[in-house]
Structure 1
Amino acid sequence: MDERAKRFLLIIGFLLSAVVIAYLLYAAFFRVAPRAPAPAPEAPAPEIPRAGLVPAAPGTPSSGAAAEAEDGLRAADQVARGGVTSTVELTTAPVEQTALAGDGTRVHFYDRGDGKFYRLQQDGSVETLSDQAFPGLKKATWNRDAARAVLEFPDGSNIVYDFDNETQVTLPKHWEDFDFSPVTDELVAKSMGLDPDNRWIVISNDTGSNVKPIQALGENEAKVHINWSPNNQVVAFSDTADALGSFERKNIIPLGKEQENFKALTVEGLGFSSSWSPDGKKLLYSVSGSYSNYRPLLWIVDATSATMGQNRRSLPLNTWVEKCAFATASKAYCAVPQGLPPNAGLQPPLFADLPDALYEVNIATGAVNLIALPETNKTMSNLFVTSDQSALYFTNTQTGNLEMIKLQ
């Protein structure tokens, strides 16, 4: 084979090799793999019936049991029976200075938006208590039937306003910490003169006339708690006595309307605050001590002039007495914060937003029973019970709205 033929064959071989190499490179890096056939769509799984559940017939759930929710869980009770309970929102805007009206069913409240007082009727309608507006109100202290109130303002001004007659009288600016008598048309206050020697607890008519000083305060005004008893004997408690051995154990001195010397109450703890039973025979109070890891604890004690301090017992409820309301002389309801940590009793404002459970307290025996867990977390304040014990009103601390739990 001559040189020309060899050269021709080499060229042909080179070209064939280049084609083969190019194809192999294409196959390795650029050719798209054939798609696998798509799987057939799965048939829908058959619906599994919920065993034991029957759709409820339309209508109002029976009073004997709560209706079942669609997911099979027990729905919230409409009436408090010790379990999860629904609450009824009565206002859609924040309210303040709430009080139960004299008929024991309607609610009076203050609307900061327009500075007026309103009455919530049983049917849910709202009417004004007065056309008079009180913008910037600091505090309202109601009398026993919520027909009159001491209104305090940030500039120190104080008036007594009569909502029935729409009249008002002015009280001295240096008076503070008011309370109305539960049985007469009188009020008590702290008269805070510039000179500590001119600071007194005073009693007057609810018009501010006929003023009578009954107890010197000096520099101890912060240690005296105004709380007029239903039997018209005690007007305040004084936390000014020396400790009894332990700094937690002390005497609380009842201050009499007629300057009587009542027997002291011995309490075990700090932060004394109290509430009278409607008949004035018992005192419900809260204190915080080492025995409760400085959580607030409720106590009940006899508190007439003849029985003051007798039959004292603690209740297994860690809450403040301000979160309680008497329904009768023998029954109270208390909102108890859930998950209250140690030392909470020493700094109450830090734990003001914890959700509450509602307990019923037997004042005679000290027995307590869980009556309601709100369906959604609620922090309750300003509790009061209707006179027929059918409902408990409270202010939702998070929203400021007025709400209700049905008790019957």
Structure 2
Amino acid sequence: FYQVQNVYWSADKNQAIIEYPDGNKILYDFIKNKQLTLKKEINEPEFNSTGQVAYKHLTNDTANNWLAVTNVQGSETNLIEPLGDNENEVQIAWSPTGEVAALFAKPVGNDKTEVFFIGLKEENFKSLIVDGSNFKGLWSPSGARLLYHAISGQNNYNPMLWIADAEGETIGNHKFSLGLSTWIDKCAFQSEKILYCAVPRELPEGAGLYPELITDTEDLIYKIDLSTGLKDLIAEPADKDGNKFNIEKLYITDKEDYIFFLNKRDGRVYKIELK
């Protein structure tokens, strides 16, 4: 595969949707060594654990923009919710249970956002009120809680991590700030109770408004106990020459013995031994 722009993996890593810079996409089956050409209108696809794919169907006509769910062959496609011109406020984010396919973040004034949980069967889930804007969420392993970042004037428009209950009638309960200024993209759950995050040593004011411009941070790694809120600084990673890392993604091994991370500066993967 040459000049690939994005890869969206299935849960079992046997299949992937591969996107090229010109917008063309293919579904590739690594077991059968077969590929299927997909429509260009498919955007931001995400697999769930059963192989369904949620995506944004985007066209030049906003009346034909939809949140949709399909099987991998594309033979059974369901239109879930019209997007109109709100595609930027919708995050494809399958819950681990498969009940929720996406999150819709609607600004409601006074520096607040109301987050709606979009299911497959027109369920009327409770919403979550977020303090701030530019919301993005990450499910805990069971789907019982939602980690998210948001920005507000109270934090100089830099991202702040929060967590809240996100299941059934408890949605929005036990909401509290973790007191760490970073993005969820730099975090990974090890379990329901343990979270690891890469946190910039410092951020310029307004970093949350234009995260794509923040390319030169020096990141520290924290371990957070979500049952108590306690945070431990466990690493200040640097290479053999003392150069710090701008961590793009974190990965925790199942045994919690290693952290692997992708360094944004050179595109390489590094590891830290925890035990």
Asked whether the two chains share a fold, i.e. TM above 0.5, the reply is yes
1:322 is paired with a residue of what secondary structure? helix
- CA distance in structure 2 between the partners assigned to 1:212 and 1:381 by the alignment: 33
How many aligned positions are there?
271
Contact 1:330 1:363 survives alignment (8 Å): yes
- CA distance in structure 2 between the partners assigned to 1:166 and 1:260 by the alignment: 38
Which residue pairs with 1:324 in the alignment? 187
Alignment partner for residue 165 of structure 1, among 20, 24, 32?
A: 32
Letter in 2 for 1:331: I
* Matching of residue 374 in structure 1 with residue 237 in structure 2: yes
Letter in 1 for 2:230: A
Contact 1:170 1:208 survives alignment (8 Å): no
Which residue pairs with 2:253 in the alignment? 386
Which residue pairs with 1:230 in the alignment? 96
Which residue pairs with 2:174 in the alignment? 311
Alignment partner for residue 108 of structure 2, among 226, 242, 255?
A: 242
Deviation at residue 147 of structure 1 after TM alignment: 2.0
1:230 is paired with a residue of what secondary structure? coil
* Matching of residue 285 in structure 1 with residue 163 in structure 2: no
Alignment partner for residue 66 of structure 2, among 179, 182, 200?
A: 200
Cα deviation per residue 1:335-356 (whole Å; 9 max; x = unaligned)?
A: 0001213222112123222110
List aligned pairs for 1:321-360, cutoff 5 A: 321-360=184-223
Letter in 1 for 2:169: A
Contact 1:179 1:227 survives alignment (8 Å): yes
Contact 2:220 2:233 survives alignment (8 Å): yes
- CA distance in structure 2 between the partners assigned to 1:330 and 1:145 by the alignment: 24
Change (3 A) 1:254 1:163: same
Contact 2:107 2:133 survives alignment (8 Å): no
Contact 2:131 2:150 survives alignment (8 Å): yes
Contact 1:241 1:253 survives alignment (8 Å): no
- CA distance in structure 2 between the partners assigned to 1:280 and 1:393 by the alignment: 23
| Percent sequence identity over aligned pairs | 37
Which structure 2 residue ranges, 5 or more long, are not aligned?
Answer: none
Which residue pairs with 2:18 in the alignment? 151
Contact 1:298 1:319 survives alignment (8 Å): yes
Which residue pairs with 1:187 in the alignment? 53
Q: Which has the greater radius of gyration?
A: 1
- CA distance in structure 2 between the partners assigned to 1:161 and 1:255 by the alignment: 28
Alignment partner for residue 176 of structure 1, among 22, 43, 50?
A: 43
Contact 1:282 1:301 survives alignment (8 Å): yes
Contact 1:220 1:240 survives alignment (8 Å): no
Which structure 1 residue ranges, 5 or more long, are not aligned?
Answer: 1-133
* Matching of residue 273 in structure 1 with residue 136 in structure 2: yes
List aligned pairs for 1:213-224, cutoff 5 A: 213-224=79-90
TM-score by length of 1: 0.64
* Matching of residue 299 in structure 1 with residue 167 in structure 2: no
TM-score by length of 2: 0.95
**The structure with more helix, counted as a fraction of residues:** 1
